[in-house]
Structure 1
Amino acid sequence: MVSPPKTGPPPPGSRAVSTPTPTPALDSASNPTPNPTPSLTPPQPMAAPSIPNLLGRLGNGPPRSGRGGRRGVGRGGSSLGGPTASGPARFAPPSQHGGGMSGKMDHSGIIQSTDTDAALSRMSAVDLGLLQDPFAQYFAGDGGGPAPRRLPIINRGTYTRTQGLDKIIRAFLSGAPSREATPEPSPQAVQTPSPLHVRQIVSLGAGTDTRSLRLLAQKQPDGHAAFQNVIYHEIDFPTVCARKRNIVQSVPTIRSLLEGPVTQHTPLAGAIGIHRSWRVGLGQGNELWAHGLDLRELAAGSGSSFSTNTTNSEEGRSDVVLAGFRTDVPTLLVSECCLCYLQPPEAAAVLRWFADRIHPQPASLAGLGVVIYEPIRPFDAFGRTMVANLAGRGIQMPTLAAYPDGVAQEARLVREAGLARAKHRTIDQIWSAWVAAEEQERVNRLEGLDEVEEWALLASHYVVVWGSQGAYFDTAWAELYEQ
């Protein structure tokens, strides 16, 4: 049971948000003393001698000599107006989205620059052999120079976060239909898959993330697609989506996967602006959609040049409509360090936008799942230093104080997304419990980790939380909820 929150003023450097002060940290193994001792309070930015200064060491190690420059078209830091080295205090997740910094027009650019850090960190893990991702090189352009090698502790974090999220997402895609009788397939059903067999993923702030290509291009031993009839939506800023479209269209390795040409989807007639959505088929009923959209448009429900559903206006719902988005199929919402950049009310409104549209129905498998990866524990000594170092780069995460631990993150999904159940695991718990012993040995052989205590400390400050409603998820995620 979580003890009641302590009272008192927020720690220096924290944002003023309408949330309770934090509960003690859940991970007692990495933080055995819930209340910081006087010697640790409060550290100044970049000056906490009792804490390993990991946050100032997230830059590159020596470049790997075994690889040349980036092959194919890439996404460099300069194109986003931000640095590519020394990533922010996170395991470089590949999904960043602007928001939450009202009145600071350059903050979106700063957040977009962290996606470059993410792509380079992912490439570092791929170069080492920790991750298998044939598409990463095309999204980690760095001007043709050698691939930057991240520090071992960062490579370990990138690997573990990817493994944890992949496990949850694969379980969703592999979930079997309910035990209810399903109709026999017909030619029409082959052309238009039944909702019983279609699944949908929405990745918020997808950026250069390659998960859609990795999953939908995966083959079974017999050569058939590992996953079929998957609708994969990615949402990010218009310029980011346009850049990704150019890579998909221009790289032969990716172009060979496409079922047909990339098609543009324009805003409403009379709207002014660039084409903000595009779609491409990937075969076997799989579709990839990209939407150039600021998530705050979903939260605000106005000012969008997408399309408008006037039938929902009387219900007070957002009028933004995502092209190709279905409400009658199991849908998984993915946020990797994305919603944390929004103000808490905005982040909650984004979750509600999807929850309002997808309701489990007795006659269908429609249901909603959410998986979020974010930093936590901003109020302990290490967390305060983490927040201060992020602020030094102009990065603020308003939701970090609002949902300071795993229990608060679970409650968030139940309260704000209306989900029936939720669970969380920190990154260090995922490494210990979800990565098999033989796989841990393989990773250690490829790159040993001397900073074991530093790893436990840093990894305990990041969490993966997932939750759901609906019978489909009850079956697909049954083992995950029991672990």
Structure 2
Amino acid sequence: MDSRSNKEAVQATNDDASASKLSCVKKGYMKDDYVHLFVRRPVRRSPIINRGYFARWAALRKLLNQFLDTEGNAGEKGHLKKQILSLGAGFDTTYFQLQDEGKAPYLYVELDFKEVTSKKATLIETCSHLRDKISATASISRESGEVLSDHYKLLPVDLRDIPKLADVITLAGMDPSLPTFIIAECVLIYLDPDSSRSIVRWTSKTFSTAIFFLYEQIHPDDAFGQQMIRNLERAVAWDMLKVYSDFVEAQERRRIERLELFDEFEEWHMMQEHYCVAYAINDALGLFGDFGFLNHRRQQPQPHVLNPSSSASP
């Protein structure tokens, strides 16, 4: 693999994703008061792209909110410290949104190539709208691509370098025993299969109580899915057509379906069936028994559940 060309490809998709999110926000699909700060040239995406990005955003936020709302036996305060680890975070603005909503976790850590984190650190430092959400005492280095504060960390790393990845997690002050939500949105597809397997193996061994969230052009029976079967206690995967139809609330679907004229149903179905949301669980603290798609509504169709105890050995 050409490391330089790979980095450039990933960075290009980051810019494209930010522009697509802004397109959704401008059309009223979702609220994000920060994404416009990361987009140089706003573009208007087609209705099918807008709807697809909305479905992706809605799935992540619903599962993330389930995680953040989970409580355990945390003593008299009744508040369990949680942390979020975003792999290949790019210009994602979820942390700032959670701050506005009063839902930010104890620690939020974002990782990406230095070329990306340097740009994001620069924007955070120069934009008071962003900087004020981090901390007035945050340490920001444009050259190093680092932002260090008590509850938010932005750090550079090549995810393929597992020893370095482990060092960065230590530098960020993450506690592997705390409940952790790990985000990997369109990240592993840019890595070779061995690197993807190494990352899954590392997360499964490092974080004993964790949700690994994946949005990808991927299927649960490929190499990555099989690695989740081997390494994690429970894994579930739904394609995005099922996520949109059965997991996004009906009233939200009705709302966004009125935003733009839409007649690309055949293409929509085909496109959404080629993306999926998968999540895998380690649950040493016994917190996530009710987590996931089936916690959404009264009775849902059974998802594709990958369970090591019932699957044939790969």
After TM superposition, the score normalised by the length of structure 2 is 0.86
Mapped partners of 2:22, 2:169: distance in 1: 35
Task: Give yes or no for the alignment of 1:354 onto 2:203.
Answer: yes
| Structure 1 equivalent of residue 227 of structure 2 | 412
Matched-pair identity in %: 28
| Structure 1 equivalent of residue 217 of structure 2 | 375
Task: Give yes or no for the alignment of 1:467 onto 2:280.
Answer: yes
Task: Give yes or no for the alignment of 1:207 onto 2:90.
Answer: yes
| Structure 2 equivalent of residue 391 of structure 1 | none
Q: Secondary structure at the match of 1:373?
A: strand
Mapped partners of 1:469, 1:320: distance in 2: 18
Mapped partners of 1:215, 1:119: distance in 2: 18
One-letter amino acid of the counterpart of residue 125, structure 2: Q
Shift of 1:176: 1.4
Residue 452 of structure 1 is aligned with which of 265, 271, 295? 265
Contact 1:197 1:229 survives alignment (8 Å): no
Q: Secondary structure at the match of 1:106?
A: helix
Contact 2:6 2:190 survives alignment (8 Å): no
Residue 157 of structure 1 is aligned with which of 52, 57, 62? 52
| Structure 2 equivalent of residue 440 of structure 1 | 253
| Structure 1 equivalent of residue 43 of structure 2 | 148
Q: Secondary structure at the match of 2:277?
A: strand
Residue 75 of structure 2 is aligned with which of 183, 187, 202? 183
- Summarize the Cα distance change of 1:422–1:164 in structure 2 as closer, same or farther, 3 Å threshold: same
Q: Secondary structure at the match of 2:245?
A: helix
Residue 230 of structure 1 is aligned with which of 106, 128, 138? 106
Cα shift readout 1:292-316 (whole Å, capped 9, x = no counterpart): 1111112xx3xx4x895xxxxxxxx
One-letter amino acid of the counterpart of residue 368, structure 1: A
| Structure 2 equivalent of residue 29 of structure 1 | none
One-letter amino acid of the counterpart of residue 472, structure 1: L
Cα shift readout 1:134-166 (whole Å, capped 9, x = no counterpart): 111001122xxxx31011111110111110111
Contact 2:211 2:280 survives alignment (8 Å): yes
- Summarize the Cα distance change of 1:263–1:466 in structure 2 as closer, same or farther, 3 Å threshold: same
Residue 479 of structure 1 is aligned with which of 295, 298, 302? 295
| Structure 1 equivalent of residue 9 of structure 2 | 110
Shift of 1:332: 1.4
Mapped partners of 2:154, 2:272: distance in 1: 31
Larger Rg: 1
Mapped partners of 1:433, 1:132: distance in 2: 22
Q: Secondary structure at the match of 1:435?
A: coil
- Summarize the Cα distance change of 1:439–1:458 in structure 2 as closer, same or farther, 3 Å threshold: same
Cα shift readout 1:245-282 (whole Å, capped 9, x = no counterpart): 121222232233233232158xxxxxxx953532235x
Shift of 1:429: 0.8
Mapped partners of 2:291, 2:148: distance in 1: 27
| Structure 2 equivalent of residue 221 of structure 1 | none
Contact 1:307 1:320 survives alignment (8 Å): yes
| Structure 2 equivalent of residue 400 of structure 1 | none
- Summarize the Cα distance change of 1:321–1:353 in structure 2 as closer, same or farther, 3 Å threshold: farther
Gaps of 5+ in 2: 301-314
Mapped partners of 1:375, 1:127: distance in 2: 26
Contact 2:241 2:269 survives alignment (8 Å): yes
Residue pairs, 1:40-55, within 5 angstroms: none
Residue pairs, 1:417-432, within 5 angstroms: 418-432=231-245
One-letter amino acid of the counterpart of residue 121, structure 1: S
Shift of 1:480: 5.5
Residue 170 of structure 1 is aligned with which of 65, 74, 95? 65
| Structure 2 equivalent of residue 277 of structure 1 | 146
| Structure 2 equivalent of residue 198 of structure 1 | 81
Which of 1 and 2 has higher RCO (CA within 8 Å, sep 6+)?
Answer: 1
Task: Give yes or no for the alignment of 1:336 onto 2:182.
Answer: no
Q: How many residues align?
A: 295
Mapped partners of 2:166, 2:143: distance in 1: 14
One-letter amino acid of the counterpart of residue 245, structure 1: A
One-letter amino acid of the counterpart of residue 191, structure 2: L
- Summarize the Cα distance change of 1:411–1:216 in structure 2 as closer, same or farther, 3 Å threshold: farther
Mapped partners of 2:49, 2:104: distance in 1: 33
Mapped partners of 2:3, 2:118: distance in 1: 24
Contact 1:297 1:320 survives alignment (8 Å): no
Mapped partners of 1:252, 1:447: distance in 2: 34
Contact 2:118 2:143 survives alignment (8 Å): no
After TM superposition, the score normalised by the length of structure 1 is 0.57
Mapped partners of 2:241, 2:93: distance in 1: 24
| Structure 2 equivalent of residue 252 of structure 1 | 128
- Summarize the Cα distance change of 1:198–1:406 in structure 2 as closer, same or farther, 3 Å threshold: same
**Relative to total residues, which structure has the larger helix share, 1 or 2?**
2
- Summarize the Cα distance change of 1:278–1:104 in structure 2 as closer, same or farther, 3 Å threshold: closer
Contact 1:421 1:468 survives alignment (8 Å): yes
Q: Which moved more, 1:251-260 or 1:125-134?
A: 251-260
Task: Give yes or no for the alignment of 1:124 onto 2:23.
Answer: yes
Mapped partners of 1:202, 1:256: distance in 2: 21
Contact 2:239 2:276 survives alignment (8 Å): yes
